[in-house]
Structure 1
Amino acid sequence: MPDHALVGVVRIPEMQSSPGRAISKRVLFALGALFAAVFIVYLDRDGYRDVQDNELSFLDCLYYATVSLSTTGYGDITPFAPEARLINVLVITPLRVMFLIVLVGTTLEVLTERSRQALKIQRWRSKVRNHTVVVGYGTKGKTAVAAMVEDGTKPSEIVVVDSNPTVLENAAAKGLVTVRGDATRSDVLRLAGTQHASAIIVAANRDDTAVLATLTARELAPNAKIVASIREAENTHLIRQSGADSVIVSSETAGRLLGLATSTPAVVEIIEDLLTPDEGFAIAERDVERDELGASPQHLSDIVLGVVRGGTLHRVDDSVVDAIEDGDRLLYVRKGPA
């Protein structure tokens, strides 16, 4: 699709300035154009004459520049020398146009917004690489994005795909790139740069939508890591066959926590603490350090939960990872920021 046709479908976030600041900038620009015209006319005042053939004073130059830039043009002061007329055509007229642009800046801004957005979309599509695509910005998608941002991911590196304009407005307000459309369609996921994404989170509200979106995403991005959430455990095999690397069953997970809360509420509190990276403890992943090679992951200063070797996660008590090797990654419990 041409970039101008994507305006309203793809939205690139931008810094919003306050109305007072925007107006102040326009006023300063208008004053700059005005005094530039005054300075030019004053330097070439010998080439102008008024109705009484008097030499122009600075006040006369200010008066002429004001009525000229505002297109009032009373005609009581006119350029008569060829040089003054040439300067008027080459300099004063462009300043007059810029002055008018400032005066009707709000209208012109609306008219040029589509072109600016098209240019921004073109630049973004040419540069976006190794980002994260989030399908669905409901409760699950919003929480997933918040967790990534808290863990250090820049909002500009996250693209949200949803068909609801209201939730996309909320996502854009948080600095996220948004794409409006059905995530089960390959053309919509292509607009989100899915083929260049490093990770894809499928947080759709329906399991059938999640399966189709995962299948489409895997076709576009064979090497991306896909994490999907479903409501019912019976659909786990379907979404894994569609290409999901990790599957989270939201209903069963919530059910287990509810059951644990009745008998061992402290366990639920610890789990919530581990899932909240901004305070207390958190589960994290890191590379092994040089002095840890050959050691047992159970005997490190950090509390190690598992070892990722060759893309496969092994529990810490698995004999395969009795000794840490170069290239391993440790899944451990770290203390969150105070």
Structure 2
Amino acid sequence: MSDLSSRFSTLDPQVMGALRMPDQRVGPVRSLVVRLIIAVSALAATTLIVYFGRDGYLDNNGAGPISLLDALYYSTVSLSTTGYGDIVPVSPVARGINILVVTPLRVLFLIVLVGTTVELLTERSRQSFRIQRWRSRVREHTVVVGYGTKGRAAVETMLGDGVDPEKIVVVDTDRTRLDVASGLGLVTVSGNATRSQVLRIAGVHQAVSLVVALDRDDTAVLVTLTAREISDTVSIVAAVREAENVHLLRQSGASSVIVSDETAGRLLGVATRSPAVVEVVEDLLTPDAGFAISQRPVETQEVGGSPRHLPDIVLGVVRGGELHRVDAAAVDALERGDQLLYVRKATPPDDD
């Protein structure tokens, strides 16, 4: 852990320029109210401090003892650094309180008054701290390269399955797309994913999976090659437009390849005769409505039984990384460590 901390103690300027943490959006009215409350609280605290220690203050105008209004007046001109000098601390205690208490309140008050400027000046430091903290903690996340139609659909599916937004990193060169992703609470990286530096910034070497959802097959091949060179263990799922490029993706190190155009064409062909079949397929692929296909480990009481006799509708069994159909003789008796592909009722998203 100490070695990891030292690695990220000073961030590379390229990391700061490419990596962006999701914005913590606060409404303008709420932000204004919070700042106003802080300013009034600082003013009120200073007024009370001066009033209760009024014996240590002198009014040079000779108006007598310091009143509550005088304390408020002194606090106002003091916190705003106007300092007319008509009311001043004269006792050692009053001066000590001014040094230790009033001065920090004065700084706080000024920070609130110029909050927008300070926020702009400290944004880079704040982002640097958040990036360091994220990079020191992120493990087993998913990197999505390309946030077009396919990339957005992949992210929506993962979020619908309950994946934490902080566990998803989006890589793209389009700033508008990255802004949309950041609005969903996703970490984004701006850059060309064919470059190893960009993928390293996204943490591919520590990721559990990589989704390549680009519009060009040749770029998808380059990204896959680069990612596989960085990590031997990351699971790479890539989409291609042409079936003839599937073998190139697999030779490049892709764990799974989906032919997007061919799949869409098959669904179009099925829809001409059996449109209801397409509706069912779309329902199964939508995690937040109707039914969805999911994967879970075999439970203890299910070991030794047949997957065809379970209450769930089981479609297949994954054993040792290999998928078997539910009617295959090899998986007629379930074993420990098996994974079930089954149909579950989708959970609708929360309205809030």
TM-score bracket, shorter-length normalisation: over 0.9
Instruction: Find runs of 4+ consecutive structure 1 residues off by over 4 angstroms.
Output: none
Work out whether 1:9 is the aligned partner of 2:18.
Answer: yes
Q: 1:261 to 1:50 in 2, by over 3 A?
A: same
* Aligned twin of 2:319: 309
Task: Give me the whole-angstrom Cα distance separating, in 2, the residues matched to 1:122 and 1:318.
Answer: 49
Is the CA contact 1:3–1:119 (under 8 Å) kept in the aligned structure 2?
Answer: no
Shift of 1:95: 2.0
* Aligned twin of 1:270: 280
Amino acid of the residue matched to residue 110 of structure 2?
A: L
Shift of 1:137: 0.4
TM-score by length of 2: 0.92
- Which of 270-279 and 99-108 deviates more? 270-279
Q: 1:221 to 1:78 in 2, by over 3 A?
A: same
* Aligned twin of 2:204: 194
- Secondary structure in structure 1 of the residue aligned to 2:239: strand
Is the CA contact 1:287–1:327 (under 8 Å) kept in the aligned structure 2?
Answer: yes
Shift of 1:40: 1.8
Task: Give me the whole-angstrom Cα distance separating, in 1, the residues matched to 2:228 and 2:238.
Answer: 12
* Aligned twin of 2:5: none
- Secondary structure in structure 2 of the residue aligned to 1:24: helix
Which of 127, 131, 147 is equivalent to 2:141?
Answer: 131
- Secondary structure in structure 2 of the residue aligned to 1:271: helix
- Secondary structure in structure 2 of the residue aligned to 1:183: coil
* Aligned twin of 1:325: 335
- Secondary structure in structure 2 of the residue aligned to 1:7: helix
Task: Give me the whole-angstrom Cα distance separating, in 2, the residues matched to 1:50 and 1:142.
Answer: 67
Residue identity over aligned pairs, in percent, reads 63
Task: Give me the whole-angstrom Cα distance separating, in 2, the residues matched to 1:4 and 1:20.
Answer: 36
Work out whether 1:18 is the aligned partner of 2:27.
Answer: yes
Which of 165, 173, 176 is equivalent to 2:183?
Answer: 173
Name structure 2 gaps, 5 residues minimum.
1-7
* Aligned twin of 2:220: 210
Amino acid of the residue matched to residue 20 of structure 2?
A: R
- Secondary structure in structure 2 of the residue aligned to 1:313: strand
Alignment of 1:237-276 (within 5 A): 237-276=247-286
- Secondary structure in structure 2 of the residue aligned to 1:112: helix
- Secondary structure in structure 2 of the residue aligned to 1:278: coil
Task: Give me the whole-angstrom Cα distance separating, in 1, the residues matched to 2:156 and 2:40.
Answer: 44
Shift of 1:320: 1.8
Is the CA contact 1:4–1:118 (under 8 Å) kept in the aligned structure 2?
Answer: no
- Which of 31-40 and 152-161 deviates more? 31-40
- Secondary structure in structure 2 of the residue aligned to 1:325: coil
**Number of aligned pairs?**
338
Shift of 1:312: 0.4
Task: Give me the whole-angstrom Cα distance separating, in 2, the residues matched to 1:87 and 1:305.
Answer: 74
Shift of 1:4: 6.3
- Secondary structure in structure 2 of the residue aligned to 1:152: coil
Shift of 1:13: 1.6
Is the CA contact 2:23–2:183 (under 8 Å) kept in the aligned structure 1?
Answer: no
Is the CA contact 2:214–2:220 (under 8 Å) kept in the aligned structure 1?
Answer: yes
Is the CA contact 1:4–1:115 (under 8 Å) kept in the aligned structure 2?
Answer: no
* Aligned twin of 2:166: 156
Amino acid of the residue matched to residue 20 of structure 1?
A: V
Task: Give me the whole-angstrom Cα distance separating, in 2, the residues matched to 1:102 and 1:289.
Answer: 56
Shift of 1:66: 0.9
Which of 231, 243, 250 is equivalent to 2:241?
Answer: 231
The RMSD of aligned alpha carbons is 1.6
Which of 291, 297, 300 is equivalent to 1:281?
Answer: 291
Which of 99, 106, 118 is equivalent to 1:89?
Answer: 99
Shift of 1:262: 1.0
Shift of 1:313: 0.4
Which of 47, 69, 86 is equivalent to 1:59?
Answer: 69
* Aligned twin of 1:47: 56
